Every structure is written in C-alpha cells, then in structure tokens.
C-alpha cells in the first residue's frame, strides 16, 4: 500500500484556502484606488497566487510515478472517474445553474441555451471560468504516460525552457517597455502547456531529484520574489524589480518549505485531520462559487468589508469541507464530487 504523504495533504488544504482567498479579494483587480482595503486585497492576491499551481505540483508528485502501482489503462480509468466525470457533470450543472442564478467568481450567465451553445461554451471555458484548472489538468493527465518516461535531466531541461518562455521572457519584455501583441496572444494559449513546469517540479521535489543546495537557492529566490510582490502591492509601484514576475519561483519556495516542515509531523490524529480536509479540496473548488453566493445572501456583505474578504473564505472553508465530507458518504454523490 502506498504511504500517504502528509505534506501533500497539507498543501492541498493550503491550496484550496488560497483559492478561496483569491476569489474573495477580487477587489484588487477592480480598481486602482490606493486605499487601505484595496492594498489589503492586493497583498492577499500576492500571497495566495500559488493556489492552483500547488495543486499542479501535488498532481505531478503523486501520479508521475504511476507505473510503480498500476498500468497505463488503469491510470486513465482512475483519472477519468476522479476528475473527468465530475468535470463534465458539473459543467452541465453549472450551465443549467447559470440560466437562473448568479454566483461570483466563476459561473457565467447563459442567455441563449441550447445543446450547440453548451458545446461551444464548454470548449471555450465559458461556463464556469474557474474550471480552467480542469482543462489544464486533463491535458497533463493525457501527457503523463510520456512525461513519466522522461529522465531527470530531460525534465529539468523542459522546466527550464518553459520557465524561460512563459516567465522570464515576458517579464523582461515588460521591464523594457516592449509590447508584442502577437506574443501576448501566444502566451495566453501557451499557459495551458507551460503549467507542466509545476507538474514536473512537484515530481522532482517529491523524488528528491534536486540538489539540496539548489532547493535552498529556490527557497530564497521564491521568498525574494514574494517579498517584492507584497511591497509592490502595498506601494502600487509597478516598477519594483520583481513586479510582474510569475509565481513560479514563489510556488516552488512555498512547496519546499511546507514539505520540509511536515517531515516532523508524527501526530497520527493531526495527520488524519489533514487527510480528511484534503479529501474535500477538489469538491470545495467546484462548489465554492455557490457557497460564496449563499454566504453573501445571508450575511449581506460586499467586497469591501472584512466579513467578505477574510470572513467568507474562513467560514466557507470550514463549513464547506465538512459538508462535502458528509456528502461524499453518499455513493451517487461521491461519483460526481471528488
């Protein structure tokens, strides 16, 4: 039986909470006003931006060695049941939900429903835009049988190339004040491929294939970029040197810190709590826009209040995960609520 990795559970819990924080601090993107509450939401965005990227790293860490446990056919069967079926079912349910109700962020109102319109909306991620995660992860699963055969050296080269194209190149072009519209369009689509850098790094870190000195250098670089982003968020100075750099280094740094910190967690009860809450993460990712709409209607808050920015993610995380854990005990629901 495969040994459960405590740090993977802890990161899953942190990643979904980061998602909730990102989606309760959207005020940061709605105004350029330099007032305290807006600065606060910008800082939250800077600190929590690794959210989904941590999920990608965990996925790479846990499935790229799947050949040690089962065949490729079994791998795809498991992934289809675990991710693809819920993705398809909830795309349909959100499409129907969007016809009458509203939730934010994610669900997109549908004005002219039909089968053809659903298919068009589905293939363009125009049903629930937070589902972009599923499009990327399904693509990574399809590529996994090939990626799993790569050597450590090739994986590192691929990560380096993706980091250069997707992160460093656009960053330095922006610093130089160069705007290349066609390159920006390319990067929009390339993102679906570039996220493989997180997927591969999660595996490299889990298998301890990186030199320890490299790990500590990455932790330091990630900390510096995070600090730069936070300072920028507070001062709203767009030209601080690390402003605009992708969350790749910060995400790796955070991942490594959590992994190393969790090596000392031996309390079985605490491990079980993390495992239990981790199991509700994907379900909460799917349902949190609806939970947010319920919270807002009950609490009568707007996105400039602390009860919205901080209170909503805390309440929704605790109550939402507990509700999902209970719902998953019902077999038919367990099929569509991973």
Instruction: Find tokens 């810190």 and name the residue.
Output: 257
Q: What is the mean pLDDT of residues 207-228?
A: 93
What is the predicted pLDDT for the residue at 212?
93
Please report the sign of the dihedral spanned by the C-alpha atoms of residue 229, residue 140, residue 135, residue 56. Answer: negative
Region at 127 (left for phi over 0; alpha for psi -120 to 50; beta for the rest): alpha
Token couple for 248: 């790749």
| CB contact set of 230 (below 8 Å; sequence gap of 6+) | 43, 46, 47
Q: Of the candidates 67, 30, 59, which has an alpha carbon nearest to the alpha carbon of residue 45?
A: 30
Q: How many CA atoms lie within 13 A of 286 on its CB side?
A: 22
Give the containing element (helix H, strand E) for 6: helix 6-24
- Would you say residue 210 has pLDDT above 60? yes
Confidence of residue 9 (pLDDT cuts 50, 70, 90): very high
Token couple for 238: 């767009």
DSSP letters spanning 172-183: HHHHTT---HHH
Find the farthest-apart pair of alpha carbons in the chain and give their distance in angstroms, rounded: 57
Phi, then psi, of 134 in degrees rounded to 5: -65, -40
d(CA 295, CA 290): 9
Strand-pair partners of 128: 107
In this predicted structure, which of 75-84, 241-250, 303-312 has the lowest mean pLDDT? 241-250
The C-alpha angle 8, 90, 97, rounded to 5 degrees, equals 130
Q: What is the mean pLDDT of residues 245-256?
A: 92
SS3 for 88-115 is HHHHHHHHHHCCCCCCCCCECCCCCCCH
The C-alpha angle 230, 234, 236, rounded to 5 degrees, equals 105
Residues 36-82 pLDDT 10s: 999 999 999 999 999 999 999 999 999 999 999 999 999 999 999 88
Q: Decide if 320 contacts 289 (C-beta within 8 A).
A: no
Please report the sign of the dihedral spanned by the C-alpha atoms of residue 295, residue 297, residue 303, residue 306. Answer: negative
């Amino acid at each position: 039986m495969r040994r459960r990795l405590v740090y993977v559970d802890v990161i899953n819990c942190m990643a979904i909470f980061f998602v909730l924080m990102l989606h309760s601090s959207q005020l940061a993107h709605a105004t350029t006003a330099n007032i305290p509450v807006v600065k606060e939401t910008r800082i939250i965005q800077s600190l929590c931006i690794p959210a989904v990227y941590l999920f990608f790293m965990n996925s790479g860490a846990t499935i790229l060695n799947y050949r040690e446990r089962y065949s490729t056919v079994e791998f795809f069967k498991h992934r289809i049941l675990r991710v693809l079926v819920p993705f398809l079912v909830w795309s349909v349910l959100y499409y129907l939900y969007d016809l009458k109700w509203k939730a934010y962020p994610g669900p997109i109102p549908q004005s002219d429903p039909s089968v053809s319109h659903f298919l068009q909306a589905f293939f363009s991620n125009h049903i629930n835009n937070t589902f972009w995660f599923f499009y990327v992860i399904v693509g990574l699963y399809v590529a996994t049988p090939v990626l799993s055969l790569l050597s450590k050296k090739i994986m590192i080269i691929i990560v380096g190339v993706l980091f250069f194209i997707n992160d460093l190149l656009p960053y330095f072009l922006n610093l130089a004040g160069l705007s290349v519209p066609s390159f920006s369009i390319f990067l929009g689509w390339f993102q679906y491929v570039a996220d493989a850098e997180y997927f591969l790094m999660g595996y490299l870190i889990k298998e301890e294939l990186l030199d320890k000195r490299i790990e500590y250098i990455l932790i330091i670089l990630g900390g510096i970029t995070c600090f730069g982003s936070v300072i920028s968020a507070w001062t709203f100075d767009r030209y601080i040197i690390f402003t605009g750099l992708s969350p790749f280094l910060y995400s790796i740094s955070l991942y490594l810190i959590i992994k190393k910190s969790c090596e000392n967690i031996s309390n079985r009860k605490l491990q079980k709590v993390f495992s239990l809450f981790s199991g509700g993460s994907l379900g909460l990712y799917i349902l949190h826009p609806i939970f947010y709409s319920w919270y807002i209607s009950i609490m009568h808050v707007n996105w400039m209040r602390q009860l919205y920015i901080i209170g909503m993610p805390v309440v929704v995380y605790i109550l939402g995960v507990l509700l999902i854990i209970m719902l998953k005990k019902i077999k038919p629901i367990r099929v569509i609520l991973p």
